[in-house]
Structure 1
């Protein structure tokens, strides 16, 4: 017997009548912004798209929102924050391309009735290009009552949580590429996709205070992880995920108002 379909907050899983009906309630529409980028030998290339989508789904469940299309490719991987483009599988978009995609997605969502949008960035290098895409779109649609929030989910990790996740000291967000934070979150959301036996334990990368073009591949540990991921655990992932869900939902309610918690749909949306 076929399993009954459960309610979803993911636009990609909705039929058009369902999406159209939900848009009549003026929900917050979340847009996860990721990348296709190497994440060491132990994590899939799509980590930067998967994690903001998971977080957006949980926050949308909290506030009665909808998760719009995930932007699965992003701005180019930098050597000192993502390992750089020399790893197989990393697909880089030009900044102008990212800006255009963000602008066009906003225009289309607004055409369908969206007036409250929240972009959740999961790829460090995307930040300013997503911001520029939002700015350009707002010049066209801002007079329609559109309001847009943009955030990087890791900024919601408080000092108290960081102290529990990194009892020996936090190396910083830029070095945390494919390391404890992302690996722990993947162990929570997608444990079947983490290659436990391949989690790297290399020392932290030491970068000079400048960049080189072409980039020096030898600056980056051969694993692709910029610092050891060995201390990652599912429990740490749960701790961070719970805080992101609670505190990002609180920020969304503060800026957009309303949004009561919905009953969680059965099972995970993937």
Structure 2
């Protein structure tokens, strides 16, 4: 059930059936020359809604902004600080807890390490303050079985996986493809010219993408996310 579309009485009735909620999180970030800037939040939201079709849970409106470091200088990327992200997650989580939610799954479509660290740090604080059962999950961790049919090893951003998902979920938003590319950031060293080390904004090979792969990945993600939510619900019982 998508919370932004229901009424106050409908929310009260929904709580009788489930006290589990999913909060999709993304970023406004470049995704190569061929994919939309909002793909991460769009992906997390669509996955949350598909999961709710398979198992009763409430789907919150997405948090569309997150922490972007390596793509911060690319055209179209608009990020927020770690502190801002942490406060958003903290306050939203407490808000759901106050409304009777017992389990909260923070589902991020953005896989940036600093972004995920901020989510985890904030969720740990909520864990100390409440009895809310919480999971923090990146979409990329939900389709391990997909290695059977994926061709590009090390794919991470705007490559085979995300292009396949976009071809399945929003084919009208896919603007062609892009060449295989990987960032050249030096290990350990922070760089000022981020675009110079990653000009195309692709991490992987979009030419290996297909709609069929996207559909398989998406369904695997939903099935595995249901398992996590069921585990949370056992802990909250």
In 2, the alpha carbon distance for the partners of 1:203 and 1:237 equals: 20
Further displaced range: 33-42 or 205-214: 205-214
Say if 1:31 and 1:69, in contact at 8 Å, map to a contact too: yes
1:175-214 correspondence to structure 2 within 5 Å = 176-196=156-176, 199-214=177-192
Question: What's the TM-score once normalised by structure 2's chain length?
Answer: 0.92
In 1, the alpha carbon distance for the partners of 2:179 and 2:225 equals: 31
Bigger Cα Rg: 1
Say if 1:86 and 1:217, in contact at 8 Å, map to a contact too: yes
In 1, the alpha carbon distance for the partners of 2:24 and 2:215 equals: 20
**Equivalent position to 2:123, from 117, 121, 134:** 134
Tell me whether 1:157 sits opposite 2:125 in the alignment. Answer: no
Tell me whether 1:87 sits opposite 2:74 in the alignment. Answer: yes
- Which segments of 5 or more consecutive residues in structure 2 lack a partner in the other structure? none
**Equivalent position to 2:12, from 6, 20, 27:** 20
In 2, the alpha carbon distance for the partners of 1:27 and 1:247 equals: 19
Say if 2:27 and 2:110, in contact at 8 Å, map to a contact too: yes
- Which segments of 5 or more consecutive residues in structure 1 lack a partner in the other structure? 1-8, 79-83, 259-270
Question: What's the TM-score once normalised by structure 1's chain length?
Answer: 0.81
Tell me whether 1:171 sits opposite 2:154 in the alignment. Answer: yes
Residues 141/215 of structure 1: CA separation in 2 closer, same or farther (3 Å cut) = farther
Q: What corresponds to 1:100 in structure 2?
A: 87
Deviation at 1:257, TM superposition (A): 3.9
Q: What corresponds to 1:254 in structure 2?
A: 231
In 2, the alpha carbon distance for the partners of 1:249 and 1:57 equals: 11
Deviation at 1:213, TM superposition (A): 4.2
In 2, the alpha carbon distance for the partners of 1:195 and 1:152 equals: 25
Say if 2:18 and 2:58, in contact at 8 Å, map to a contact too: no
In 2, the alpha carbon distance for the partners of 1:215 and 1:132 equals: 28
In 2, the alpha carbon distance for the partners of 1:204 and 1:227 equals: 6
Further displaced range: 9-18 or 200-209: 200-209
The number of aligned residues is: 233
**Equivalent position to 1:120, from 94, 98, 107:** 107
Secondary structure of the corresponding residue to residue 51 of structure 1 = helix
Q: What corresponds to 2:21 in structure 1?
A: 29
